[in-house]
Amino acid sequence: MYYIRLDDACEKRDVAKWNRIEALLDKYSVKPIVGIIPNCKDTDMDKYPVDNEFWSRAVLWQEKGWHIALHGFEHLFCSNDGGLNPVNTYSEFAGVQLEQQRKKIRGGVRILEKHGIVPKIFFAPAHTYDANTLLALKEESNIRIVSDTIAYDSYRFGEFTFIPQQSGRVRKLPFRTVTFCYHPNLMSEQDYVVLENFLRQNNSKFVNGLVGESKRKFSLFDRVLKYLYFVRR
């Protein structure tokens, strides 16, 4: 089963590239997980003009069944911690005190809700979060699904369902559930071509319906895969 994830949706983005991937996903009826930065202060995004239509566009995404995720708060890195999913050694969340994490989650959810958007999923900037992030989500939101873990398949841990995210591009991988994570702002011509070919050939494997809860437990096999994944990086 495949998911597509789109990172870094916010007012400052490359609208043409976002429109292009939206048209492509519509063509193949694939509904992605889209991560919205509620209050983007990341200066990397300053090269894009502010799109005043962003929030109404995001509402349309929600209406057409895209899976809306809260993607951090300001997209600013303030720690050197990899947390539970150490894909990087910097974070907006991992290693940050619980009270501050609660503020970020609370603030982020409020901004999205103010615009009529209800996030069902969370993923942190740089993929990095820790146990306090989960506590903060529990205390400040109704979000109980996290995208970002290395595993064979989605699994349940405590109140949360974790959806694995293992690759930054489409390809065959030895996992039952794979999320391909794209940053539309950074996509090249070639990325669109490769993605379209893969969508055409594997269309039936992409998830279109709701992102549901998992009852499966994290297994020894997941543990081995996770170990190998981080050793090979």
Q: Which residues here bind Zn ion, judged by CB under 5 A?
A: 7-8, 125
Q: Is the dihedral of CA 220, 211, 68, 13 positive or negative?
A: positive
Specify the residue, 61 or 152, whose C-beta has the smaller distance to Zn ion: 61
Q: How many helical (H) and strand (E) elements, i.e. helices and strands, does the chain have?
A: 6, 8
Nearest distance, CB of residue 69 and Zn ion, angstroms: 10
Beta bridge partners of 4: 180
Buried b (16+ CB within 10 A) or exposed e, 88-105: beebbbbbbeeeebbebb
Nearest distance, CB of residue 90 and Zn ion, angstroms: 12
Nearest distance, CB of residue 157 and Zn ion, angstroms: 23
User: First CA to last CA across the chain, in angstroms?
Assistant: 24
Specify the residue, 68 or 225, whose C-beta has the smaller distance to Zn ion: 68
Specify the residue, 177 or 185, whose C-beta has the smaller distance to Zn ion: 185
Nearest distance, CB of residue 223 and Zn ion, angstroms: 27
String of DSSP letters for 34-49: EEEPTT---GGGGGSP
Specify the residue, 185 or 214, whose C-beta has the smaller distance to Zn ion: 185
Buried b (16+ CB within 10 A) or exposed e, 121-157: bbbbbbbbbbebbbebbbebbebbbbbbbbbbbbbee
Nearest distance, CB of residue 224 and Zn ion, angstroms: 29
Specify the residue, 7 or 14, whose C-beta has the smaller distance to Zn ion: 7
